Amino acid sequence: MNILSENTAFGGMQAVFSHDSEVLNSEMTFAVFIPPQAVEAPCPVLWYLSGLTCTHANVMEKGEYRRLAAEHGLIVVCPDTSPRGKDVPDAITDWQLGKGAGFYVDATEDPWSKYYRMESYITKELPELVAKSFRADMDRQGIFGHSMGGHGAMTLALKNPGRYKSCSAFAPIVSPSTSPWAQKAFEKYLGADTSVWRKHDACALVEDGARFPEFLIDQGKADGFLEEGLKPWMFEEAVKGTDIGLTLRMHERYDHSYYFISTFMDDHIRWHAERL
């Protein structure tokens, strides 16, 4: 890994690294906060997945997670949202496809499949690097995210309940198969067979039998994407009659921005700390 930056915060270290990813066939950048407790013993790992158009930097600069992460002794890892590099396929005029829009799936269709394998990167390659490089307790992992990253966190948790012990989301895309935000990307990355999409759709995964103990979802009622792209009530309906716990909190006047995320970040850090 190459160290791009290191800054002391709340007694811990906020760092940014780059490394060559074999899974994504490109150089990747990620941020990691190491709490002061890691000097003494391995600490739990909390993964944060960002949304469309974002990089590792959005939550690192605006998410306000370090104070509580330091208090509770959590390592927070913030990956990028897609592969990068000059050879990586892109859709320059479409923010919902290509760079910044990896959707945390492993693409199967050309030309995307060589590079867009974010699911394998998040669940395999990057955790191996984190385990090797930091004092991380990989038996205690949680995952959360925003928007597209909320979709990623929820689907990866549902598919890997033995790996993650906690999951939460800010304004997640809970049903990408029915969301214009995701349908185009899913068709390009995964093909036209919508039955394949169900493996990357939180509502469909629950309907098909996937289980996870409980979720925390925060959603702003003034979010301009609520009705068309996010639709958290669909997940609320999907978990009815299951043993999946859901805390869905709808907030007046809050939108889709990091003003919303930073307001409720403390609640999410505490949620994960209690379970990790």
Q: Tell me the catalytic residues.
A: 147, 223, 256
Of the candidates 101, 126, 127, 129, the residue with the CA atom closest to the CA atom of residue 116:
101
Q: Cβ(68)–Cβ(265) under 8 Å?
A: yes
CA 271/CA 104 separation, integer angstroms: 23
Q: Where are the beta strands (DSSP E) in 80-213?
A: 136-146, 164-170
CA-wise closest residue to 115 among 36, 30, 27:
27
**Contact, 182 vs 100, CB < 8 A?**
no
Are the CB atoms for 48 and 65 separated by under 8 Å? yes
Tokens of 52: 């469309």
The amino acid at 151: H
Question: What residues contact residue 203 under an 8 Å CB cut-off, 6+ apart?
Answer: 174, 175, 177, 234, 235, 237, 238
Residue 53, CA distances (Å) to 29, 154, 192 in order: 15, 19, 24
Cα 98 from Cα 82, distance rounded (Å)? 8
